[in-house]
A and B are shown apart, each in its own frame.
Chain A
Amino acid sequence: MSASLSLRAVDKVYHPRGRSSVHAVKALSMEVDRGEIVALLGSSGCGKTSTLRMVAGFEDVSAGEISLANRRIERLAPAARNVAMAFEGYSLYPPLTVRENIAFALKRGRLSAGEVSRRVQEVAALVEIEPILDRYPNSISGGQQQRASLARALVRDAALYVLDEPMGQLEPQLRAVLRGRLKRLLKDRAMTSIFVTHDQTEANALADRIAVMEGGMLQQFAPQHVLKERPANLYVATFIGEPPMNVFDASVVRDDGRTMFELDNGPSFGFGDNELGPEVRQAIGKRRRVVIGVRPHRVVLGNGSAETARVVSNQWLGDQSHVAMAVAGKLLVAVSHARVRAAIGESVPYGVRAQDLHIFDVDTTVALAHGARAA
């Protein structure tokens, strides 16, 4: 019974008393397909939680429309929307046991007691809370409460599942296991879901598409690999990826078959027209200044490169090295999957290839080109 969710030009403005109003969500439009899992990703205060709460019905929409399964829902009370929500703050009913809490979500449907019991057991097994089903919320840990809250949302048959940081309180190992299971459940049952997170790994692992938000606006809505390889603007480029993309302001100098990027207070990188193709050059156009970016694991370390830089830090993390070098007054981070034996203070050669460059407009921060293709 899942169907698609559609948001059209949704706005949310808060008017706290005694302070100026806050425009938390600005003209947000997005379409979620049936059975799709979508993540709202962003740092705190970007508007993702406000958006989620508007979809679930706990906040009014200041402007715009929300539709679910071709039905306008932005004016309906939460209970009338056929949306199941798992809250960040657990919010279990204290006088009921965990089992009763989960079963409560099924009260509206006309299911036999046996069926209810079976479903509760099934979802409890998924999130591994079977041993505490008959305990009360005040006697279980924060992580267990969170899982119970999640189970309560998942046990229902709803058109949309809305999850607010569903695994924030859980430790990394458990999170990894539950993520796998949750994804499998959502996919097997074609449950359309939308969840909020600030953790990229979680977004990557669970979502079909990720909506990156910042300052109340949708920055880009695409699958993970598109966000990584073709970020729409500088914000997405530096937000997605750990370590974040290295970015530098540079001046563009065209010289007879070569394009030079002169980094402010730093080295210059030149590329022949065979490396930096016509499409890219056209995208740069007549601009004299751009922002160039390169992902840490694309920085080439080692001999054969013209430029060298002083190593500021070299950290070995078991399966990869993170080497930070002083370039153009900032730090350039390179990631290598081999041990890099360079001491702090040593100069190492490094290089950047044209196919790994991301170029952004310096004023609008919109992406101009990624690698060999225009944005």
Chain B
Amino acid sequence: MDRNSTIERVLRAVLLTLIVIFFLFPIVWILLMSFQTNEQILRIPPSLSFVPTLENYKALISGHLLTSAGSLDIAFMRNLGNSVLLSTCAVVLALILGVPAAYAFARFKFWLSEDIAFTLLSFRFAPPLLVLLPLSLYFQELGLDDTYTGLIWVYQLIALPLILWIVRGYFEDISPDIENAYRIAGHSWLRTFFKIAVPLAGPGIAAAGLLSFIFCWNNFVFALVLASADKQPVTVGALAFVTASGIQYGQVAAAIVLSVTPTLLLALYAQRWLVEGLSLGAVKG
């Protein structure tokens, strides 16, 4: 209904502005911080005008951190690379495993299918700390401790349930008659899966993939416990900024900006699919 009075419109605009400011404020502040030196950041009262500097970014990219106590080597770019590697591989593996599984759950009601599906989802409920310590022991025994393979495997705990639930919803939404029609036209069920089911669930698969990527990227605890410094992602790597000579706020801010940028760009690029995929996953419960 479009019966808008001026008051309503003004009120709506004010409210929207407030909400936008509320959410964007930390991000903007950190962005600004990343271009300031530590002294500028810690100045009281805080000031909005400053002379921007690229020192922080230079330090991160070169790997040398200059503090008042001397120089420190930070392997930040390596951490960034690890994040990319781990998240990408985890998601790709989860898609290869999860999409056919989601299809099976959607189309074939086999014995215990609901229970199995729920069990897989429950991995998202459990606090990671519960399994982490025993897992680290097993990993050491299996020789998977401090390996990329081990980490990618553990990341499936994050990525797989998400992909299963979201993509299953998309498969269920496809009218079975469309697949039946393709079968009757003479195609095997495998061809039907690849030519009909997967393309039609495309948006859901992309959304689930993106979400999993974001969650894997943000993960902290698994990598902290199960890997050593050279394999750790940015989330853990950021700890290094808490140095003996104090917290290097400027570099931390720059590190945050660099860590957030890949996922932010991906999300912006595919935002339409993300919203669609999220709501669908929620409804198909």
Contacts and interface: CB of A to CB of B under 8 A. Distances in A.
A contacts B: CB pair < 8 Å: yes
Interface of A: 58, 60, 77
B152 to A, nearest CB: 42
A58 B1 CA distance: 7
Contacts of B1: 58, 60
5 contacts: A58-B1, A60-B1, A60-B2, A60-B3, A77-B3
A212 B1 CA distance: 28
Contacts of A77: 3
Contacts of A60: 1-3
Considering the complex of A and B, which 5 residue pairs feature the smallest CB-CB distances, nearest first? A60-B2, A60-B3, A60-B1, A77-B3, A58-B1
Nearest to A75: B3
Q: For chain B, give the interface size range.
A: under 10
Interface in B1-57: 1-3
Contacts of B2: 60
Nearest to A78: B1
Contacts, number: 5
B171 to A, nearest CB: 25
A58 B3 CA distance: 11
A241 B1 CA distance: 38
B47 to A, nearest CB: 43
Nearest to A59: B1
A15 to B, nearest CB: 10
Interface of B: 1-3
A129 B1 CA distance: 33
B4 to A, nearest CB: 11
B214 to A, nearest CB: 29
A75 to B, nearest CB: 9
B52 to A, nearest CB: 40
A60 B4 CA distance: 12
Contacts of A58: 1
A77 B2 CA distance: 11
Nearest to A57: B1
Nearest to A58: B1
A266 B164 CA distance: 65
A192 to B, nearest CB: 25
A261 B2 CA distance: 55
A228 B1 CA distance: 39
B145 to A, nearest CB: 53
A45 B242 CA distance: 67
A58 B2 CA distance: 10
A12 to B, nearest CB: 13
A77 B3 CA distance: 9
A175 B73 CA distance: 83
B56 to A, nearest CB: 43
A56 to B, nearest CB: 12
A77 B1 CA distance: 10
A60 B3 CA distance: 9
Contacts of B3: 60, 77
A177 B245 CA distance: 89
Nearest to A77: B3
Nearest to B2: A60
B61 to A, nearest CB: 42
A169 to B, nearest CB: 20
A60 B1 CA distance: 8
A155 to B, nearest CB: 25
A57 to B, nearest CB: 9
B160 to A, nearest CB: 34
A81 to B, nearest CB: 14
A46 to B, nearest CB: 24
B124 to A, nearest CB: 30
B151 to A, nearest CB: 44
A22 B4 CA distance: 22
A54 to B, nearest CB: 12
Nearest to A60: B2
